[in-house]
Structure 1
Amino acid sequence: MTGPDDPDAAPGRAPEGAPRTRWSELTGHATGADYAARFAALAQQGHHVHDEADLCAALLPAGAKVLDAGCGTGRVAIRLAELGFDCVGTDVDESMLAVAREHAPDLPWFTADLAGLRADDLGGATGFDLVVLAGNVVPLLAEGTVPAAVASVAALLGPDGLLVAGFGLDRAHLPARCPVTPLELYDDACAAAGLELVQRLSTWDGDPYDPAAGYAVSVHRSRESRTQP
């Protein structure tokens, strides 16, 4: 999936002390308002902008606990909260979180790098029923940190918790200048973190997986009860 999930601004400079990720290299942590405006325009034109939330909601019982990891402006978490789920959001980009906090001040939003994420970074929250990585979060992590990020979010899952991630598999489905993250690398990271693949799709709206589609939505399940290290 390309479009407003993906940054297309000129490379910027992240604020002093902000984590260095591919996202920060592309945007400089300064695109929150523009990102939100692009989705608002799509919604006003009649486009459905909640495919990620719809898929997650279909996998969970009412009231389940969800972590929107790499939440951006909070679009997915806010929609899931509207549907009755218990949501927490986290992102490295303060410009995105500022929009999330403005739109949903009652939801908990935390600044954190997924590669080292711990329950303490989320106000002690853990035992999530589902963690979602939407909007090309995986390929926009810092180079070499996919295994660490997957291990971090997997450790926050409760028993039988789900990790749902969608990202582009070729340059046509990724932001300009964002390298491809092989699906095999992500799957290996999930396996190392004690997760097993239970479903794979080509779109958030449920199209069957086709390797030629250039995009994958993967649902992995925790194989055992996990505790925060």
Structure 2
Amino acid sequence: MQKVAVDPGHSDWYIERFRAMARAGDDLGGEARFVDAMAPRGAHILDAGCGPGRVGGYLAAAGHRVVGVDVDPALIAAAEQDHPGPRWLVGDLAELDLPARGVGEPFDVIMSAGNVMTFLAPSTRVPVLSRLRSHLRADGRLAIGFGAGRDYEFGQFLADAATAGLAAELLLSAWDVRPFTEDSGFLVAVLVPTAP
């Protein structure tokens, strides 16, 4: 929300950007296709930092039970309007407690696309990863993607994930399953819970 405080029109710009891309026929489903391929049919999926709902909406249309959470009320309102079906909630990922909000079962898959991790205050990164882990089934998977050059080094992210009780199962350089290398400009990390 610091970005919105600096630029009050940011949320509206972001919403319209994706609506315009959808009208133009752009492919907006890459992240969702990736998650759909790794999820069991009818999975319970959390879209953490869901924005205006394009990924969660796709996954719900594919038959999954989706909950989307974002800190920005304007983005949640757009998700409700453009992608009815999932349960959209305003919430801070660092304080995520979905059982207290009537979402009681753990998730098969949690995903976070759109550089969400890089928008978090550095002091909240490990707490967010810990909160996500606490909402994940013991055999569940967490898929997080973000770009390089956004003040969150990939190595630091993986160290933070380990601190939060998550281990890397698979590292890719894109949602379209390209291998990760030292020179990759993007990271898609599939994480699994480590033993408590």
TM-score, length-normalised on structure 1? 0.79
Q: Deviations over 1:114-134 (max 9, x none)?
A: 112112454233410111111
Matches within 5 A, 1:103-114: 103-114=82-93
The farther-off stretch of 74-83 and 35-44 is: 35-44
Equivalenced residue count is 196
- Contact residue 32 and residue 72 of structure 1 kept, 8 A: no
Q: Residue 139 of structure 1 is aligned with which of 118, 128, 132?
A: 118
> How far does the alpha carbon of each residue in 1:103-124 deviate from its partner, in whole angstroms, 9 at most, with x for none?
2343211111111211245423
Two-structure CA RMSD over aligned residues (Å) = 1.9
The equivalent residue for 1:215 is: 186
Q: Which amino acid aligns with 1:107?
A: P
Q: CA deviation at 1:192?
A: 1.9
Q: Which AA in structure 1 matches 2:98?
A: A
> More displaced, 37-46 or 190-199?
37-46
Assess if the C-alpha contact under 8 Å between 1:63 and 1:86 holds in 2: yes
Q: Which runs of 4+ in 1 moved over 6 A?
A: none
Task: Tell me the TM-score normalized by structure 2.
Answer: 0.91
- Contact kept in structure 2, 1:151 and 1:189, CA below 8 Å: no
Q: Choose between structure 1 and 2: higher helix proportion.
A: 2
Check 1:136–1:88 CA distance in 2 against 1; reply closer, same or farther (3 A cut). Answer: same
> 2:29·2:55 contact (CA, 8 Å) conserved in 1?
yes
Whole-Å separation in 2 of the counterparts to 1:113 and 1:201: 27
Where do 5+ consecutive residues of structure 2 fail to align? Answer: none
Q: Which amino acid aligns with 2:114?
A: G
- The residue that corresponds to 1:68 in the other structure is 47
Q: Does 1:205 align with 2:184?
A: no
Rounded to whole Å, the distance in 2 between the matches of 1:106 and 1:33 is: 22
What percent of counterpart residues are identical? 34
Q: Deviations over 1:156-187 (max 9, x none)?
A: 001211111000111xxxxxxxx411112211
Aligned counterparts of 2:83 and 2:30: Cα–Cα separation in 1: 19
- The unaligned stretches of length 5 or more in structure 1 are 1-19, 171-178
